[in-house]
Amino acid sequence: MADYSRLALLVSDSERAQEAAEDYRQLADWVPLEDADAAVVLGGDGFMLQSLHTMLYTGKIVPAYGLNLGTVGFLMNRNRRADQLLGRISRAKPHTILPLAMEATTQDGAVVRHCAINEVSLLRETRQTAKIEVSVDDKVRIKELVCDGVLVATPAGSTAYNLSADGPILPLDSQLLALTPISAFRPRRWKGAILPDRSRISFKVHESQKRPVSAVADQKEIRDVAEVHLEIARESALTLLFDPGHALDERIVSEQFVF
């Protein structure tokens, strides 16, 4: 059993999470995130992503144990009796997730870098379809993808936007990435690709002035991009803690049998 003696409590602004936090605040001597060796996150998947991005931004990365006080709760554990929390954390199973590192160059030459835990998506900004060149490991694989957009999803994010765009669900330990088109017009029959997570993926926007494209790394959007380069950020590994029997890899398998 892991011993997390210094815990931080991170609470979303939702009314439901704020009300639940009153019970949890009495359980421990909570410490700021910068002094913690694990974090308890109260909220939904969106707030968990926000909390993980805070860790990436500050450089203080600790295991995160989420309690679902949102809607889907794919990255969270069930919210049960507050007095069981410390025992549940000590028995929780760690799962490592690797974010994507995105480097985007805009039409005016600015370079912007962000990490994405779920996916990086390129999306058309106007009614004009986007025209995007797709390269993998410095080799052009599609000279011109005509589409509404295209995305690259991690296993942790494969059941989010990627699944809605008819992309594949990836097991957490698969060491794969999903490259998924969004409403592809040409090549008409291209449904995407599954790539090793060591791949370097690049996109170049054609006719970028006429057909502007934005790049979105989880919740961060960069407008009017010209090129986007992606690879796994192995130095920024994150850890989620799950109750036994409710781990993320089991949820990924279960999601494929929901009708």
Question: Which residues belong to the annotated binding site for NAD(+)?
Answer: 45-46, 118-119, 148, 156, 159-164
Q: Is 49 helix (H, G, I), strand (E, B) or coil?
A: helix
Residues catalogued as catalytic: 45
What are the φ/ψ torsions at residue 234 (nearest 5 degrees)?
Answer: -65, -25
- Annotated binding residues, written as ranges, equal 45-46, 118-119, 148, 156, 159-164
Sheet strands side by side (includes 119-124): 193-196, 176-182, 149-153, 119-124, 213-217, 220-222
Q: What distance in Å separates the CA atoms of residue 1 and residue 245, rounded to the nearest whole number?
A: 16
CB atoms within 10 A of CB 188: 7
Q: What type of residue sits at position 204? A: K
Q: Single out the residue of 47, 10, 51, 16 nearest to residue 32, CA to CA.
A: 10
The residue assigned the tokens 């954390």 is 89
Q: What span, in angstroms and rounded, lies between the C-alpha atoms of 127 and 137?
A: 31
**Six token digits for residue 235:** 């130095």
